[in-house]
A and B are shown apart, each in its own frame.
Chain A
Amino acid sequence: MALAGPEPESIASQPEPVSGPSQGGWEPTIVAFLCNWCSYAGADLAGISRIQYPANVRIIRVPCSGRINPLFIIKALQTGADGVLVSGCHPGDCHYISGNYYARRRFALLKSLLEFVGLEPGRVHFAWVSAAEGEKFASLISGVVQEVKALGPAERLVKVS
């Protein structure tokens, strides 16, 4: 599955998810855009502290949640991501002061419009995870994977070429 944007650097060596044919065995693929200063560090902390979380997530590191262009998220959904997570610093903690504030409005409108058009709620997730919240990051990922798994493979907005 070729993704737009830079090659995802995986933190811990992540096993290749087994995309089993049957619904039970099927594992969703989640694309996560993590802001470098908080959420990526939070994910790193989860890895270092050996906190287990599902391996379905493909992490793309970005300088700030404000860097995320809605086209990235739509492109991810097009190229077969079953779920997309965007996570940045809590408001007030942004390394660039206001990146996440701008992003918050952009994501609010994007999520609202995507779900208005009919994308199942639960496909696209937004979160704030600080560098110290390794625990929260792991539970966030498990929650997202579970929710997306319940929705089944992505069909809407998927580009079949």
Chain B
Amino acid sequence: MMAGTDAGTARLISKNGITALLEALIGEWEVLAPVQLREELAFEPITHASQAVLDFSNTTRPSKNAIFPPCEVLFRYDGQEVHEPAFGRERVVFAMRPCDARSFLLLDNVFSGPPSQDPYYAWRREHTYLVGLACNHPSSTCFCSAVGGGPFDMRGLDVFLTDLGEAYLAEPVNARGAAFLERWAGADSGWYQEADPSAFQRKQELARQAERKLQIGAVLANPLVPSQTQERLESQYEHQLWEALGQKCLGCGACTYLCPTCHCFDILDEADDGSGRRLRLWDCCQFPLFTLHTSGHNPRPSGKERIRQRIMHKFRYFVANYGEIACVGCGRCVRSCPVNIDLRYVLSDLLSDQGQAEMTMNTGQCG
């Protein structure tokens, strides 16, 4: 772990310093922070600092929603007159977890890559500052370190906060983060404290604890190497596990709509007389309509093909196209699956060397 980042000087911010910082931010920017929304914790715009919950495991919905929302207007039109949505404000997603941050790096491959850049994603990505919060206590369903991430992984973030107990260590991760800290937690801000070396040791200690916690009882003991995972899955296309999972899976979209790296979308129009709008909406590969041809033919007709597609896409096809596994190990799909299909066990079955014969208990297919 680096003592301070080379992007700029780290600093300490006291617990009520953070509240003051948030109040200042809210004055000018749209601040999205974890908010208790009846039954769930979700990133929502806050109007004052007290709404932000900073002691939590992870939000139910990923912070991906801030950059790639479930529903957005691509165009509005009146007759043949077409215009694109209006301007938005600078925004900050505050206290997001490292796994969510990594998802943006993965999504960049799709939305900013060739053949053409997605302007809607590009604008939000550019105008949204990502302030991360280290995972001092990863939950038992987290497996970020198994897919190349980590509870103290700073990649994808602008600023990295670590809750040291009585204060937060705020480290800029890149130039943008340094500028953010200078502006909002500068020496003159009243909540700036020198970051002495003991703060960094404390952080490293917390990081080690978090990593050790992730290792206890980890289902995926050793981290997945993208190229090996891709190659292993190439021989697993006809694995009997798919039949079992396809039979048990309800075919709902809970796992995809809570997944930070799912990026499939639909484009459809809504109109009333001559005016209306063209929308981009999330879509889900588990729904039959996703690949249904107008002729009635469906290349993926049943649950078996569809659940196979979801896993092959993230752990084989995405690797073939972009060289990385499209999973950040946040565990949301594990927690939210109504029938408890656990991705960690599915992966360990598929990637275990016993090959097809061995079947652990989760998959439901026996004998």
Interface of A toward B, CB cutoff 8 Å: 1-2, 79-80, 159, 161
Contacts and interface: CB of A to CB of B under 8 A. Distances in A.
Interface of B: 270-273, 276-277
Most chain A beta-carbon contacts within 10 A, residue among B270, B272, B273, B277? B272
Nearest to B270: A161
B276 A161 contact: yes
A2 B277 CA distance: 16
Contacts of A159: 270, 272
Nearest 5 pairs between A and B by C-beta? A161-B270, A161-B276, A161-B272, A2-B273, A161-B277
A5 to B, nearest CB: 15
Contacts of A79: 272
Contacts of B276: 161
Contacts of A80: 272
A159 B272 CA distance: 9
Contacts of B271: 161
Contacts of B273: 1-2
Contacts of A161: 270-272, 276-277
A79 B272 CA distance: 8
Nearest to A161: B270
Nearest to A160: B272
13 contacts: A1-B272, A1-B273, A2-B272, A2-B273, A79-B272, A80-B272, A159-B270, A159-B272, A161-B270, A161-B271, A161-B272, A161-B276, A161-B277
B181 to A, nearest CB: 41
A15 B270 CA distance: 29
A75 to B, nearest CB: 12
A2 B273 CA distance: 6
A159 B270 CA distance: 10
Contacts of B272: 1-2, 79-80, 159, 161
Contacts of B270: 159, 161
A2 B270 CA distance: 13
A120 B279 CA distance: 30
B267 to A, nearest CB: 15
Given A161-B270, A161-B272, A161-B277, 6 more contacts: A1-B272, A79-B272, A80-B272, A159-B270, A161-B271, A161-B276
A161 to B, nearest CB: 4
A14 B95 CA distance: 61
A159 B354 CA distance: 55
A1 B272 CA distance: 7
A1 B271 CA distance: 11
Most chain B beta-carbon contacts within 10 A, residue among A1, A79, A80, A161? A161
B151 to A, nearest CB: 43
A86 to B, nearest CB: 23
A2 B272 CA distance: 7
A2 B274 CA distance: 10
A1 B270 CA distance: 14
A161 B270 CA distance: 6
A80 B272 CA distance: 10
B25 to A, nearest CB: 31
A116 B361 CA distance: 45
B57 to A, nearest CB: 34
B254 to A, nearest CB: 24
A72 to B, nearest CB: 17
A80 to B, nearest CB: 8
Contacts of A1: 272-273
Contacts of B277: 161
Nearest to A80: B272
